[in-house]
A and B are shown apart, each in its own frame.
Chain A
Amino acid sequence: MTRRNLRLADRGRLDRSQPIRFIFNGRTYYGYKGDTLASALIANGVALVGRSFKYHRPRGIMTAGSEEPNGLVQLGQGARTEPNIRATQIELYDGLVAASQNCWPSVGFDLGATNNLLSRFFPAGFYYKTFMWPASFWMKYEYFIRRAAGLGKAPGEPDPDRYDKTYAHCDVLVAGGGPAGIAAALAAARAGARVVLADEQAEFGGQLLHSRSEEIAGRPAVDWVAAAVAELSTMPEVTLLRRTTAFAYQDHNFVELVERVTDHLGPGADGPRQRYWRLRARQVVLAAGAIERPLVFADNDRPGIMLASAGRAYANRYGVAVGDKVLVFTGNDSAYRAALDLAEAGTAIAAIVDLRPDAGGPLVAEARGKGIEVLAAHAVTATRGSARLEGVTVMPLNAAGDGVTGGGRQIACDALLMSGGWNPAIHLFSHNRGKLRFDERVQSFVPGEPVRGCHTAGAMNGAFETADCLAQGFAAGRKAASEAGASGEAGSVPTVTRAEPAESPDRVLWIVPSDKPLGEGGKHFVDHQNDVTAADVALAHREGYRSVEHLKRYTTMGMGTDQGKTSNVNALAIMAALRDRQIPEVGHTTFRPPFAPVTIGAFSGHDKGDLFDPIRKTPMHGWHEKTGAPFEDVGQWKRAWYYPKPGEDMHAAVAREVKAVRAGVGIVDASTLGKIDIKGSDAARLLNMVYTNAWSKLEIGRCRYGLMCGEDGMVFDDGVTTRLGEQHFLMSTTTGNAARVLGWLEEWLQCEWPDWQVHCTSVTEQFATVGLNGPMARKLLAELTDDIPLDDAAFPFMSIREGHVAGIAARVMRISFTGELTFEINVAASYGLALWEALMAAGEKYGITPYGTEAMHVLRAEKGFIIVGQETDGTQTPQDLDMAWIVSKQKPDHLGKRSFLRTDTARPDRKHLVGLLTENPSEVIPEGGQVVAELKNQPPMTMLGHVTSSYYSPNVGRSIAMAVVKNGRNRMGDTVYVPLVDRVIRAKVTEPRFFDLEGARLNG
């Protein structure tokens, strides 16, 4: 590739004092501050930027904005590498490294380009057709296709960058900072509104940045932009967001934006890389502009073929000629401006090929006057060149515009600027359910009925003249401000004092004909990113995929990362023509957020790693940590899992812990259990309703276990509640369910029983809870308290006593989750560690053993105590769990009561909780294993249920398991099977209790 220099000497908004070095595909190039990667590549003569998705055709830059379908690159290296970044939006910084995508092994020699030759095997619907073959066939294809077609590479390391997230409010958000947006912001801000003006580019100004002759308010347009931005920046209630894309317009004027804060400075710059704005605006002004429409002609995808407006922007804004000899192909006047500006800068214009037979008007006259050849009623029918465009064939059009009259003429050129008209950028308007209307004049969709709180202005309304943009923008800004309550003096509309020549009418040909039938010879690309051609649309039509939604999915039209910004309207129009309908009858697909791709990092912001979710730790957490306990996550809580001694693995540690509890005394940190303080004259009434058993007669100082059901009769929580006073209870909940239970109580109290006198307060974090379990528990506790009598008579099971333990005010309960003699000691959270350490010190001579959640689970399973969420999954009634005893027959009402009578809940063969004892006592069934009664050689087998809990129990001396099994209570003694991948486990159905069946150990 020979080095070329297409830089224009005296054009552009670049800082030429400092060249910037960058690397593309391993080669070093130079550009200037103010360049994008796209403009710098074009300046260096690099036309071939990547390969297309499906056919791997050589592709170059096509646009100068966020609508770019072709110029996607892999940006950056290592952990910072990012795929699918539009070269047109990458501001050049020193040391930038980028590479082509979709090429293997290199952009110049690409094996996948054979896809182009084999393209008859890749028709529309290729993926669907392939999927319809046997699945195994697809698997074989997949490796090759993915390798050859992948869109860039995801980084393999964690993202080292910082992302910020902010919530903001304003009176008026103006999305789009071209002439309409600037005028809107000026009007709204002057009226006194709090304004946010956002634009995706580095500078405000939009199309004015590449206008040359226009003057506004008596000065060059760019100077007017500078003055307006200067005025806005002095206003304290105005926020100017550059490099900020409004990518989603949600309900109630909630707009999501992403600000590229330091991307333009390169990796490792000070400050966050990007900032995700979640903005609520009282009023929104959309001034999103318009996107130029490509012409659909044969082989319209060669590197060097661009939108005309892009060619103009590269010349006037970036100081780059898109080629040495540029051909312009258009059906309208706007492309003439690009030709004239390039010609003025000294670039040769090969010709202007104009679809219009009557090409006239001042711009056409000016071009002709400058000696530029204008070929009216002509079309480009073929293009040549591989790594770069080399020339085109031009033929005269017939009168109808659906064929050519022969006489092809070859014209050499190395760039082609095309314009098929303009599509208003209605994407954001559409996000917010704005209805679109087809505008005959612009031959595209524009906003239809207005949406409340939303105003549209300028080119997105189809108003392409600067004066109209300014007027509409100013009016929209003033109206928005006034509707937001700001109606100060806004001054007058900025006037265009020197306009560009007026444009004459367009001619739109949705498919530019050639001398060959569609689909033979050249490819008429409609969607450049997804390689969808006009012939594909025709094929979809022939195969019956005629609705726009079907067309989209069948051809993958508009489903690339650009969402078809340049292709949608062309595709709809082509389908309409095939169906012989008007475009509005065919309709359009729905535009959905995001307008442009947003990196996941921006969404997560700071919410990653330790900040992803709050971490809750008990007051004794540091002690567990120091002892070397690994932690288990239970909801947001960190719970000590087990306490390994040197040389112990988990299995050994848990075995030691569970034996120690039953032999001596174990200590467990139970602080995470949910605690709700319930007070009021109707407190007992509330408990009667939310639990299945009766609470009115519970004596003060006594505790009771309860099961909580939903109105559907299904168990959703359990725990012990203690009566502290006539109108005062302390409820405990499972660790993970505390917030849900509090919410449940409040919902019923506020919505169904608002006159009941009850207050519920979460006190989970106010108390530290320590469980002392085992035959030695009483002896140990006696050493540390002198005001709580501990004998059975004075302090019976299921009661509470208040006093002091180790000198700390404590509520002590005799409740048990292990079946052992247990004292549960509750102290103020700040004393939790002191209590724990005092018990450990005094307990040393009893061999006190701290145990974690794993041992706790084994111990309770030995006793057959359920864990809600492990034995239950929201489909178990108390009866299913073999706990019919806890459902009061006397109570007239409680939540879920009626549901126990439903035919389905009352049937006797539901899934029941049972025990399983394996035939081989040392074999432990994996939890989740499926239980079957009849074994077959391979699935499917009729599944009866699944194993919910399964452990090796050193205290029972064998493995134990619980399971929910269909009709399980009527299968006692039966043998069932748990088929696994590599073996089958045989087990006997038993009662779900395995140890101390008579409950003798409770009292020590």
Chain B
Amino acid sequence: MLLISCPHCGPRAEIEFAYGHEAHIARPTDQEKLTDAEWADYLFMRKNPKGVHYERWVHARGCRRWFNVARHTVTHEILAVYRMGDPPPALDR
């Protein structure tokens, strides 16, 4: 069980959080102009890297705020926690 530092509440056990899949996927504007494949890419396709993954979490059983996490998918090491809207930090791992 991971230990996740909520940017608003501090370190808490994973059971207080809910996972919200890959971060930094902007909702497309001009959707009508997208092909089905492009729309499907937004809708369904997610990265599954062996390495650093930028992802969203919500402190569902705490402050209920969403935030971003950079997590290494092999070691589960949490390399960064940053707020919604902040750009992903460059991590060269």
List residues of A whose CB falls within 8 A of some B CB: 167, 250-254, 278, 280, 433, 452, 711-712, 743, 746-747, 750-752, 754, 893, 897-899, 901-903
A429 to chain B, nearest CB (A): 15
* Interface residue ranges of B57-80 to A (CB < 8 Å): 58, 60, 64-66, 74-78
Contact of A254 with B1 at beta-carbon distance under 8 Å, contacts A747-B58, A751-B84 already known: yes
With A897-B31, A902-B39 given, can you name 4 additional A-B contacts, CB distance below 8 Å? A746-B66, A750-B65, A751-B56, A751-B66
Q: Which residues of B contact A754 (CB under 8 A)?
A: 84-85
Q: Which of B1, B58, B74 contacts A250 (CB 8 A)?
A: B1
**Taking the complex as formed, is B40 at the interface, i.e. its CB lies under 8 A from any CB of chain A?**
yes
* A902 and B3 contacting across the interface, CB-CB below 8 Å: no
* Chain A, residue nearest B74 (CB): A433
* Chain B, residue nearest A897 (CB): B31
* B31 and A898 contacting across the interface, CB-CB below 8 Å: yes
Compute how far the CA of A355 lies from the CA of B90 in the bound complex, rounded to whole angstroms.
59
Q: Which residues of B contact A452 (CB under 8 A)?
A: 77
* A750 and B31 contacting across the interface, CB-CB below 8 Å: no
Compute how far the CA of A742 lies from the CA of B18 in the bound complex, rounded to whole angstroms.
14
Chain B positions 16 through 37: 1 when the CB is less than 8 Å from some CB of chain A, otherwise 0: 0010100000010001101010
A449 to chain B, nearest CB (A): 12
Q: Which residues of B contact A167 (CB under 8 A)?
A: 13
Contact of A252 with B66 at beta-carbon distance under 8 Å, contacts A280-B13, A902-B39 already known: no
CB < 8 Å A-B pair total: 59
Q: Which residues of B contact A897 (CB under 8 A)?
A: 31
* B1 and A251 contacting across the interface, CB-CB below 8 Å: yes
* Chain B, residue nearest A752 (CB): B27
* B1 and A712 contacting across the interface, CB-CB below 8 Å: no
Q: Which residues of A contact B84 (CB under 8 A)?
A: 750-751, 754
**Taking the complex as formed, is B45 at the interface, i.e. its CB lies under 8 A from any CB of chain A?**
no
Compute how far the CA of A752 lies from the CA of B84 in the bound complex, rounded to whole angstroms.
9
Q: Which of A433, A747, A902 contacts B20 (CB 8 A)?
A: A747
Q: Which residues of B contact A254 (CB under 8 A)?
A: 1-3, 13
Q: Which of A750, A893, A899 contacts B39 (CB 8 A)?
A: A899
A707 to chain B, nearest CB (A): 19
Compute how far the CA of A901 lies from the CA of B74 in the bound complex, rounded to whole angstroms.
38
Q: Which residues of A contact B74 (CB under 8 A)?
A: 433
**Taking the complex as formed, is B43 at the interface, i.e. its CB lies under 8 A from any CB of chain A?**
yes
B22 to chain A, nearest CB (A): 12
* Chain B, residue nearest A902 (CB): B36
Q: Which of B2, B32, B60, B76 contacts A898 (CB 8 A)?
A: B32
Q: Which residues of B contact A893 (CB under 8 A)?
A: 31
* B58 and A252 contacting across the interface, CB-CB below 8 Å: no
Q: Which residues of A contact B66 (CB under 8 A)?
A: 746-747, 750-751
Q: Which of B32, B40, B76 contacts A252 (CB 8 A)?
A: B76
* Chain A, residue nearest B56 (CB): A751
> What would be 9 A-B contacts, judged by CB atoms less than 8 Å apart?
A251-B76, A252-B3, A452-B77, A711-B42, A712-B43, A747-B20, A747-B58, A751-B20, A902-B40
A450 to chain B, nearest CB (A): 13
Q: Which residues of A contact B58 (CB under 8 A)?
A: 743, 746-747, 750
Compute how far the CA of A452 lies from the CA of B79 in the bound complex, rounded to whole angstroms.
14
Compute how far the CA of A732 lies from the CA of B84 in the bound complex, rounded to whole angstroms.
28
* Chain A, residue nearest B31 (CB): A898
A745 to chain B, nearest CB (A): 11
Contact of A743 with B56 at beta-carbon distance under 8 Å, contacts A251-B2, A902-B36 already known: no
Compute how far the CA of A464 lies from the CA of B1 in the bound complex, rounded to whole angstroms.
33
Q: Which residues of B contact A711 (CB under 8 A)?
A: 27, 42-43
B42 to chain A, nearest CB (A): 8
Compute how far the CA of A251 lies from the CA of B85 in the bound complex, rounded to whole angstroms.
28
* Chain A, residue nearest B11 (CB): A280
Q: Which residues of B contact A903 (CB under 8 A)?
A: 36
Contact of A898 with B34 at beta-carbon distance under 8 Å, contacts A252-B2, A433-B75, A752-B27 already known: yes
B21 to chain A, nearest CB (A): 11
Q: Which residues of A contact B18 (CB under 8 A)?
A: 743
Q: Which residues of B contact A746 (CB under 8 A)?
A: 58, 64, 66
Q: Which residues of B contact A751 (CB under 8 A)?
A: 20, 56, 66, 84
Return the 6 tightest CB-CB contacts between A and B, nearest first: A898-B31, A252-B3, A750-B66, A251-B76, A254-B1, A252-B2
B32 to chain A, nearest CB (A): 7
Q: Which of A252, A747, A752, A899 contacts B1 (CB 8 A)?
A: A252
Compute how far the CA of A743 lies from the CA of B58 in the bound complex, rounded to whole angstroms.
10
A1003 to chain B, nearest CB (A): 41
Q: Which residues of B contact A750 (CB under 8 A)?
A: 58, 65-66, 84
A543 to chain B, nearest CB (A): 33
Compute how far the CA of A620 lies from the CA of B34 in the bound complex, rounded to whole angstroms.
52
Q: Which residues of A contact B76 (CB under 8 A)?
A: 251-252
B38 to chain A, nearest CB (A): 10
Compute how far the CA of A673 lies from the CA of B3 in the bound complex, rounded to whole angstroms.
35
Compute how far the CA of A754 lies from the CA of B58 in the bound complex, rounded to whole angstroms.
15
Q: Which residues of B contact A280 (CB under 8 A)?
A: 3, 13
A851 to chain B, nearest CB (A): 35
Q: Which residues of B contact A747 (CB under 8 A)?
A: 20, 58, 66
Compute how far the CA of A754 lies from the CA of B18 in the bound complex, rounded to whole angstroms.
19
* Chain A, residue nearest B26 (CB): A752
B15 to chain A, nearest CB (A): 9
Compute how far the CA of A899 lies from the CA of B39 in the bound complex, rounded to whole angstroms.
8
**Chain A CB within 10 Å, residue with most, of B1, B60, B74:** B1
A601 to chain B, nearest CB (A): 20
* Chain A, residue nearest B33 (CB): A898
Q: Which residues of A contact B78 (CB under 8 A)?
A: 252
* Interface residue ranges of B76-93 to A (CB < 8 Å): 76-78, 84-85
Compute how far the CA of A89 lies from the CA of B84 in the bound complex, rounded to whole angstroms.
52
**Chain B CB within 10 Å, residue with most, of A712, A898, A899:** A898
Compute how far the CA of A897 lies from the CA of B34 in the bound complex, rounded to whole angstroms.
12
* Chain A, residue nearest B13 (CB): A280
Q: Which residues of B contact A250 (CB under 8 A)?
A: 1
Compute how far the CA of A903 lies from the CA of B43 in the bound complex, rounded to whole angstroms.
14
Q: Which residues of B contact A253 (CB under 8 A)?
A: 3
